[in-house]
Amino acid sequence: MPEVLVSTDDITVVGPPNIVEVLVDIGPTGTRGNRFIVGSGDPDLSTTSGVLFGNTLILNDMYINIAPGADYGYLYQYVAQPGGNEWIQVLDMNPVIYSETHLTTYTAGAAQISIPISNITAATGLTAENFNIQYSIAHPNPLGSSMSIPALVGSGTNLVINFKAVEYDDDSGPAEWIALDGTVTTHLFISIVAGIDES
């Protein structure tokens, strides 16, 4: 109730109340927001009666798998399905990136590196066009090089990378480009990409 500060027959000045009460515990509690849960392994195997690691789940909760293996780094979402609520994979937060420093022996300007595909990715059904390879060759002389990937043969096979290289030699006589011979260090950076769009 406002307190009367001044009052006459013509005018009344009212001030604010002495006490203001704000009630914050009135009404039902709202639904909590989505929760991100981090755990080891497939969340469907650990979810029991809508509870995961002590967390009561609601639709659209998220889960990140940190268990080493093929599904490492996957983001899952808890969604409604015809058979009941379940986790589905929605995003690979750990894209396939493989890097290696490889000692490569060149003979008459040619060399080959063979890497088991299982060392790069657990994905299947890949073709040579699905591998994006960036490389550099460590050498004291300037180099010119090219790389090619032959078609993959069989399942669970190796990724074969063929190299050709020449070096600029100005140490023995007139400067010239000669076929690279000997062992050098090749730095490889491999990622998985969509196939070539020929449209």
| pLDDT at position 24 | 76
Asked if 192 contacts 95 with a C-beta cutoff of 8 angstroms, the reply is: yes
Distances (CA, A) of 123 to 18, 27, 63, 133, 147: 71, 51, 21, 17, 23
Q: What is d(CA 72, CA 13) in angstroms, rounded to the nearest whole number?
A: 71
| pLDDT at position 3 | 67
| pLDDT at position 183 | 95
Q: How confident is the model at residue 156 (pLDDT cuts 50, 70, 90)?
A: low
Rounded to the nearest integer, the mean pLDDT of the chain is: 85
**CA 47 from centre of chain:** 25
